[in-house]
Amino acid sequence: MVTTLEQQRAAYAWQHVQGCDDKYTKLAKGAPALIMGNGLMQALAFYEYKGKDHHRALNCHILGWLHNQKLVTDGAFAIAMGDLFAANSGDYRRATQEALELLKWVRQLAPAVSGDPG
């Protein structure tokens, strides 16, 4: 069965929000604004710096998706950041757009799992 990219995003998001809590849900709701206001790498660095479980989980989910889409060579934070630093502007924009598209699904599905309406 052939699935669309949008279906793949939805399935990935659904799989990765399982077991999430209300902190993750609230963080995911604000993630697109943080990325659009500050940039993808700055948002990822902020989540890594915060270091709490829900921050690291969201970072892991975003970076895992970017790795699945072959926009970074590895989903590990340090390697992915190196790839993003080295990316040309078109690839960086595509990575940012993919992160935002994934977050549309995460923001919708996480509350269904956590029970937090946000």
51-100 pLDDT per residue, tens: 999 999 999 999 999 999 999 999 999 999 999 999 999 999 999 999 99
Residue 20 in contact with residue 113, Cβ under 8 Å?
Answer: yes
Does 18 map to a domain? yes
**pTM of the predicted protein model:** 0.93
Domain holding 103, by residue range, is: 5-109
The band of 114, judged by pLDDT with boundaries at 50, 70 and 90, is confident
pLDDT tens, 21-51? 999 999 999 999 999 999 999 999 999 999 9
pLDDT value of position 2: 65
Residue 19 in contact with residue 114, Cβ under 8 Å?
Answer: no
Residues 6+ apart with CB under 8 A from 79: 72, 73
Cβ-based neighbour number of residue 77 at 10 Å: 16
Does 81 map to a domain? yes
Mean pLDDT computed over every residue of the chain:
94
Whether the per-residue pLDDT at 115 is higher than 80: the answer is: no
CA 31 – CA 49 distance, rounded (Å)? 15
The enclosing domain of 46 has a CATH number of 1.10.520.30
Does 118 map to a domain? no
Helices of type H across the chain: 5-17, 22-38, 40-50, 53-68, 77-86, 89-114
Number of domains making up the chain: 1
Nearest 5°: phi and psi at 20? -75, 160
